[in-house]
Amino acid sequence: MGTPKLTLTLMRHGEAQPIDSCPEDFERALTKRGTAQAKEMGARIARRRLIPDLILASPAERAWTTASLVAAACELDAKQIQCARELYLAEPETIWRLVTGAHADLTHVLVCGHNPGLSQIASHLGPKLHLRDLSTAGLATAVWQGPVASWASLQPETAHSCEFDDPEHISDWT
């Protein structure tokens, strides 16, 4: 058995309709571009074989649709995508509480939600990172490894590595 390894991917939802286009922010859908962004990032995740064991998604229309498109690209079962109501416009502490509460059997969790919370966590992943704002459908993937790697003990700054990708960038992952 190798060294324990945990992977966390933070994903911001794809581009959404303008705020003034819907009576409720919660109901804002992806634009055509946002749908293409989510599909592209799902394909990149699948090509790189960074398939999550579980996707935790905000129930907001734009985030849930993004997560569903990624799940389809990764050929995940319906039980591998879960709605986490507390992710809707969540503060970083709320997001991190969900991450550190992940089941011990999981080795890769993808969280699909909103800024600024996701970007605030992404800015602290790994050593010597600077503030990094996740673009729409942008990804931050961090890896922790070692004998003490457990979800409950994770701290953002102790990640061994972190990579960023966004749909407008020609990825090194392809």
For 43, the 3-state DSSP assignment is helix
61: its two tokens: 């229309």
Q: What is the pLDDT of residues 84-135, one digit of tens each?
A: 999 999 999 999 999 999 999 999 999 999 999 999 999 999 766 565 789 9
CB atoms under 10 Å from CB of 73, counted, come to 19
**What is this structure's pTM?**
0.93
Q: What is the pLDDT of residues 2-28, one digit of tens each?
A: 667 999 999 999 999 998 888 899 999
Every domain of the chain and the residues it spans: 9-165
Tell me the CATH number for domain 9-165.
3.40.50.1240
With the CA atoms of 145, 151, 157 and 159 taken in that order, what torsion angle do they form, in degrees rounded to the nearest 10?
A: 20
Instruction: Identify the pLDDT of residue 168.
Output: 83
Instruction: Identify the pLDDT of residue 149.
Output: 76
CA 1 to chain centre: 27
- Which segment of 21-25, 37-41, 65-69 scores lowest on mean pLDDT? 21-25
> Mean pLDDT for the chain?
91
